[in-house]
Amino acid sequence: EAQVTQNPRYLITVTGKKLTVTCSQNMNHEYMSWYRQDPGLGLRQIYYSMNVEVTDKGDVPEGYKVSRKEKRNFPLILESPSPNQTSLYFCASSWGGWSQETQYFGPGTRLLVL
């Protein structure tokens, strides 16, 4: 089954404790991205990756890091989480950056930073 998986689905942590949210897709997609969803703001792109070892900042990259060492995985790293990073996070993938409209979205990771 074609899918994007994220782990964990729910996470409660404390300020400053490093965490990683994993994202994996099984569709051999080149393009992957991370979004955060906040009430009244919709989805905002954090980082994206056009292919292995090619990543770039989205609209709200501050406080986040990513890596793309393998085509299928695109982890999101919060080196020192802060309460303003409490949000719902979505990973997404598509064949290429030109086809973002057909992105497949993961189920989301709800993060609470205390």
Q: Is 4 in the site for other proteins (CB under 8 A)?
A: yes
Question: Smaller CB distance to other proteins: residue 2 or 14?
Answer: 2
| CA 51 remoteness from chain centre | 15
CB of 9 to other proteins, least distance (A): 9
> Does 26 sit near other proteins (CB under 8 A)?
no
Q: Would you call 89 exposed, middle or buried from its count of C-beta atoms within 10 A (0-12, 13-18, 19+)?
A: buried
Query: Phi and psi (nearest 5°) for 63?
Result: 90, 0
Q: Residue 98 Cβ, how far from other proteins at the closest point, in Å?
A: 5
Per the CB < 8 A criterion, the answer to whether 55 and 33 are in contact is no
Q: Which of 47, 64, 74, 90 binds other proteins (CB under 8 A)?
A: 90
Closest CB to other proteins among residues 50, 77: 50
What token pair was written down for 9?
Answer: 């689905």
**Residue with structure tokens 């991205």?**
33
CB nearer to other proteins: pick between 9 and 79: 9
